[in-house]
Structure formats: C-alpha cells, structure tokens
Structure 1
Amino acid sequence: MEQNIQPINRVALDLGVLQINWYGLIIGIGVLLGLVLAIREAERRGLHKELFVDLILFAVPISIICARTYYVIFQWDYYSQYPGEIIKIWNGGIAIHGALIGAVLTAVVFAKVKKVSFWKIADIAAPSLLLGQAIGRWGNFINQEAHGGEVTRAFLENLHLPQFIINQMYINGVYYHPTFLYESLWNLLGVVVLLSLRKVNLRRGEIFLAYLFWYSIGRFFIEGLRTDSLMLTESLRMAQVLSLSLIVVAIALFVYRRFSGMAKQRYLDA
C-alpha cells in the first residue's frame, strides 16, 4: 500500500516559462494575511495603513535574504560545493530565525526614519508574524522537510490526522513526525493569545516580547524532535540555543523596561 503513495506535487502552477511552487505561494499567502491583520490594527491604533505596506516592501526581501543567508551559513559544507544552489530558495532552506533577525533590524531602522515608536510597530506586528509563521510551515509540509524522527503509520493515525498529511509524511519508505504541524498549531494558538493580550492593555513593547517568549518555548521543544536541525556544534542545535537566548532576553527586557520606567505607555494609549 505504502509503495503507491505519491507526494504532493511541489509545483502549484506551471505556465511553461514560469513555475509557481507551493512553497513560495504559501509563504506569500502568510505574508499577505499577516499584512491585512497588521493594517487593520494599525488603523485602530491611529497609524496610517500605508505605514505597514511601506514597511513590508523593505522587510520581506531583507528577511528572505537574511533567512537564506542564515541557512546557507550553517550548511556551508554543502553550498560551498554547489554555489548555484544558494539562490534556489523554492527548494526550501529558509531559516525563520534568520528572517526574524532581518525583520527586526529592518523595523528598527524604518521606525527611526518614520519617527514612529519601534515598540508600537512591533506590538502591532507580533500576531501577524506568528500567523505568517503558522501558515509558512505548510510550505515545509509540501516540500517534505522540517519533519521529525521516524514513526509508524499507526502513530500518525492515532493522532487523528487527515490522510493527506499522513501520506505526505511518508518519505522514502518511512513515516515521520509532522513537526511542521506541531509548530503551525502552536503558532496559531499563539496568535489567539497575543490578540487576547491586546485587551489586557500591557505596557508598550510587551506584546512583542510575549511573541518572542511564546514562539521560543514552542520552537525549543519541537526542534528537539527534528532531524534536519542546523547545528552549532555536534550536540547543540542552533534553533534551541537561540530560542533559550530569546526567552532570557524577552524576560530581561520585560523586567528592565518596567523597572527603569521605559515602558510607561500602554498598548491602547492614543
């Protein structure tokens, strides 16, 4: 039975001279929906909707470059032998932590140029970032990457997963943990949490710090199940090291900004 299972075609649309892959299309959908969510909230918070449109025009390409650079650096043994593969991002190999670094740096510079609080922008964008990440993981699903270790078909069926997910987790004769799904669901739950925190009226910047905290906790544990981790050393997974670092940074900034008086304004302030 398993021998007849065919993976989902990675090409969403073939126009002859142009192929549109599911990977890029899904990431694009995530970016678009995240932008819509941010624009709606920006208008409620007294910002022009064009602000996030302008930001994303810079943030998306910079984030993609940073995400790919981050990945290539940790896979340099391979890409040094095949440099032509570096630009082929449609085959996968985009590190979310690299994208996050690029997005944050872009937002810091953008906020200074536009004379807008970075923390205000970051708070508004935080749920959008998690939503985009939740959707983007399905691009990994199509490419049959970012999966965990070996499992049985019975294990996947006991999770009550749809057949198309179970079948796509059948790779080269073996079933694998759908860690892409675990992270996607964790991120979607995080979107609900962050949207709820808006009503709590936290200090400015704390919703973004909550995003770093929430995502990093989930990523740390889920990364431990994966088989394709980028390694800092033979025993240290880079994503886990960075996740722990971000948890510490988020907590430290939360405490420091409150006790230093840097976080006087609240999220719902005009």
Structure 2
Amino acid sequence: MEKIEAIDRIAFELGPITVYWYGLIIGTGLFLGWLLATRESRKLGLDKDIFADLLLWAIPISILSARLYYVVFKWEYYIDNPSKTFAIWEGGIAIHGALIGAVITAIVFAKKRGVSFWKLADIAAPSLILGQAIGRWGNFMNQEAHGGEVTRSFLEGLFLPDFIINQMYIEGTYYHPTFLYESLWNIAGFVILIVIRKLPLRRGEVFLSYIIWYSIGRFFIEGLRTDSLMLTESLRIAQVMSLSLIIGAAVMIVFRRKFGKTNNSYAGG
C-alpha cells in the first residue's frame, strides 16, 4: 500500500525562527481582512487608519481570549501539561473566544474614538468571515478540526483534490474535512454580506447577519467534529454558543427596529 505523507506543518525556518503554516495562514486572513475593512471605511468617511489602530489592540487581545477560552474548556489536559498552555502554533484557539475579545475591544475602542461601534462592526463583518474562511486552512495544515471517520471513496465522491484527501488521512484513517465545509460556508457568507450591505439595512444589521449566518453553519458542522469542546458529556460548547448567538442576534435586530434603536442606515452618518 502506498505510503501517504502529511504536509509538513512548518512553512520555513530562518535560523532559530520556525514559521508554521498555521500562523502564516491566520496572518494572511488578518491582512486581507484589514485591507478590505480599510477600503470600506474610507468609502464611508472614516479615518483611513482606524482599523489599523483597532487591530493593534484587537489582535493580541483576541488571540489571548481565544486561547484562554480553549484552555479553560480543556483544563484537565493543560493542568497536566502547563508548558503547552501558550503553544498556539500547535492549534487550539477558539473562534468564539476570539470574537468575545474582539467585540469587547471594539466597544471600548469605539467609545474612546467617538465612533459608532455598530458602524465599525458592520464594516468589519465581511472581513471577519473572510478571515475565518482562510483561517480554517490552518486547521487543515495541522490535521485538526476534522470530523468522524469516512472512507477514501467517500472523499473522492466529493471531487476533492488528492492533496486534501491525503491530508485527511491521519494515523491510518480518513476523516471528514470539516475545515473545508466551514471554509466554504464562510466564503458563501462573505459573498452574502457584501451583497446585503448594499441593501437599505439599518446600522448593525450587517454584523448581526454575520453572527446568524456563521452560527447556523457552525452549529451543523460542529456536530460532525470529533474534537469539540464539551460543556457536558452530550452538549458541545460551540453548538450551545451558536444557538445562543442566533437567537440573540435575531432578537436584537427585531428589538432595535421596533424601539427605534437603529435609525441610521449602514452607510448613514
């Protein structure tokens, strides 16, 4: 039987510095998201450097909160392996943790800069979901965030290229490429957000639509994964969070419209 080798997690080495594909891919997603948000913020009359200034705070805080979120729910492992606590290049950051950190940072930043948080959030929404779509390929490189066992013929039936099929061969078994399912779902969400922001939406509704779209996909895809963070033996944390966010975002859209909390349009002043 032909030996199948995984793609090396290391992109390149510069002397003592090791650059992993995981970090490189995440960084690419952040960079493209920043370019997109900066372009849109200029069109809407904001300071051209506002997202660069925001990211100086949001990136480190989001990474820390994403890792903290993951570690808290994997505490039994990290209490026995404390040296692994900050080894984020090996994977193990939770998007819900990152979003919590990013939103809190953006709220404080917007207040200090005298800018509407909802306006910043709307502009950032397509960038966020694009970054998530790209970032899932970091999971691919690490052979993580995959689903349950499948056969090679199943994967071939999805018309996947060999490099994806081979990377899903882990320790003698093929697995669902759930990273790919979520990446494609997020790309579709990115296109939808770009389209709907041209509609007469109220301020905040592009961001809330992002929350709903992403959470719907994450809820179903999470059910296929084998590495879920668990709240109880039967409750997956990501699914609980996704349902909560879907309901919360939908209620907020209705509430803000009904009680006049959102009179400004997406592009309005």
Q: TM-score range by the shorter chain?
A: over 0.9
5+ residue gaps in structure 2?
none
Quote the residue 2:210 is aligned against. Answer: 211
AA paired with 1:223?
E
Runs (4 or more) in structure 1 with deviation over 6 Å come to: none
Q: How many residues align?
A: 269
AA paired with 2:200?
N
AA paired with 2:249?
A
Quote the residue 2:23 is aligned against. Answer: 24
**Residue 265 of structure 2 aligns to a residue in which SS?**
coil
Q: Aligned-pair distance for 1:201?
A: 2.5
Work out the percentage of aligned pairs sharing the same amino acid: 67
AA paired with 1:225?
L
2: CA distance, partners of 1:50 / 1:239: 33
Quote the residue 2:196 is aligned against. Answer: 197
5+ residue gaps in structure 1?
none
**Residue 199 of structure 1 aligns to a residue in which SS?**
coil
Quote the residue 2:91 is aligned against. Answer: 92
Q: Aligned-pair distance for 1:268?
A: 2.1
**Residue 198 of structure 2 aligns to a residue in which SS?**
helix
Q: Aligned-pair distance for 1:44?
A: 0.4
**Residue 9 of structure 1 aligns to a residue in which SS?**
coil
Q: Aligned-pair distance for 1:89?
A: 0.4
Quote the residue 1:109 is aligned against. Answer: 108
Q: Aligned-pair distance for 1:16?
A: 2.5
1: CA distance, partners of 2:42 / 2:14: 38
User: TM-score with structure 1 length normalisation?
Assistant: 0.99
User: Is 1:230 the equivalent of 2:229?
Assistant: yes
2: CA distance, partners of 1:117 / 1:71: 30
2: CA distance, partners of 1:234 / 1:168: 29
Q: CA RMSD in A?
A: 0.6
User: TM-score with structure 2 length normalisation?
Assistant: 0.99
User: Is 1:13 the equivalent of 2:36?
Assistant: no
1: CA distance, partners of 2:139 / 2:200: 35
Give per-residue Cα distances to partners, 1:99-122, cap 9 Å, x unaligned.
010000000000000010000000
2: CA distance, partners of 1:247 / 1:235: 20
1: CA distance, partners of 2:238 / 2:204: 23
Matches within 5 A, 1:9-158: 9-158=8-157
Q: Aligned-pair distance for 1:15?
A: 1.4
